[in-house]
Structure formats: C-alpha cells, structure tokens
C-alpha cells in the first residue's frame, strides 16, 4: 500500500526561525502557533508527517549532529504533549548536494523508505527552496506565507501549518 505524506520544512513552518542564525539548543526552539494542531490534523486523516530540513550549521561548525538530534528530540516531545506525531525526520548537514533542498533527495529517500505516493503527497515550506524541492520530487506544494503576494509559484498558499493541513484534509477527503 502506498501512503500519502506531508513533507514539512522545519524552521518557519513548525517553529519560529532564528533570525541570522541556527537553532542549536532546545531552549531556542519555539513552536509556531497552530503548528501542533496542524500536525495532529494530518495524523488524524492518515497522512504521514515527515520533516525534511536543511541544517548546514553542522557543516559550518555552529552545531553538532548531536545538538541537532537533541533539538529534534525536544520538538518530538513538545508535539507529543499536544497530541501531534512526526513520523520521520530527514536532514541535510551540507551546503550542496543531492539531499540539500532545492534538490529532491530527502523527499525521494523518504518516499522510498515509507512507500509514499508522491503525486498525492504535499511539500509544505516557507521558502522557494522548499517549493522547488517539492516540485522536483513530484509532490503538490503549499507555501506558508502571511501574504498571498509572492514570486514563488506554489500549487497552494496558506498562512499557517494548520491552514495547510485543512487544505490537505479537503483535498484528500472532499466529501467529509
């Protein structure tokens, strides 16, 4: 059986971005409003939730892979407290390469690992690199942006992860 997934960028979609830097410790990680509810909604309709995040701060020596894993363990625990589940996390610690967005490598690797039907799935991000990666992988794309005016051509637009999850719910369960 093939699955439907939502491939989520992390910074700017699940949590607040750290302006001019990297989130290197759990105390810097702040969930965005409605992000847990959006993830929980995706969970409730059977959509796999997979985080795909560029984290070149590792390559730059700003943080270690263990620092990143600690942040991710914290994120998972905080989301779990609010009834939300992440099914997998993929990250790219490099500045270039097949796995670094806008290349589709992380999405394609997750699709193979979890038997995901890419044309029925969605990539949700807040930057052009997220949208380009989703398009290159063959998913539908949702740009998280407070304004509808943008040069980035996504398939859909939403103001929050929850709004994106509602859009996905309507697309995959249109008669409910």
**CATH number assigned to the domain comprising residue 24:** 3.40.50.1000
Domains: count for the chain: 1
Q: Tell me if 134 sits within 8 A of 141, measured CB to CB.
A: yes
Q: Tell me if 79 sits within 8 A of 86, measured CB to CB.
A: yes
Specify whether 9 is catalytic. Answer: yes
Q: How far is CA 153 from CA 54, 86, 137, in A?
A: 21, 27, 15
- Is pTM beyond 0.75? Reply is yes
Can you tell me the distance from the alpha carbon of 155 to that of 163, in angstroms, rounded to the nearest whole number? 14
Specify whether 155 is catalytic. Answer: no
Q: What is the pLDDT of residues 112-148, one digit of tens each?
A: 999 999 999 999 999 999 999 999 999 999 999 977 6
Q: Which domain holds residue 138?
A: 5-172
């Amino acid at each position: 059986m093939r699955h439907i997934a939502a491939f989520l960028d992390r910074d700017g979609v699940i949590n607040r971005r750290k302006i001019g830097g990297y989130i290197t410790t759990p105390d810097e990680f702040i969930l965005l409003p409605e992000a847990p509810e959006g993830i929980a909604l995706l969970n409730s309709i059977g959509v796999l939730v997979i985080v795909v995040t560029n984290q070149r701060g590792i390559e730059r020596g700003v943080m270690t892979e263990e620092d990143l894993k600690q942040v991710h363990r914290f994120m998972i625990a905080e989301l779990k407290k609010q009834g939300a589940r992440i099914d997998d996390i993929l990250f790219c610690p490099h500045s270039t390469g097949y796995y670094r967005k806008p290349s589709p490598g992380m999405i394609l690797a997750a699709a193979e690992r979890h038997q995901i039907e890419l044309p029925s799935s969605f990539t949700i991000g807040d930057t052009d690199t997220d949208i380009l990666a989703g398009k290159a992988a063959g998913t539908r794309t949702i740009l998280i942006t407070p304004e509808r005016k943008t040069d980035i051509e996504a398939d859909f637009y939403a103001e929050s992860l929850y709004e994106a999850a509602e859009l996905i719910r309507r697309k995959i369960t249109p008669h409910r």
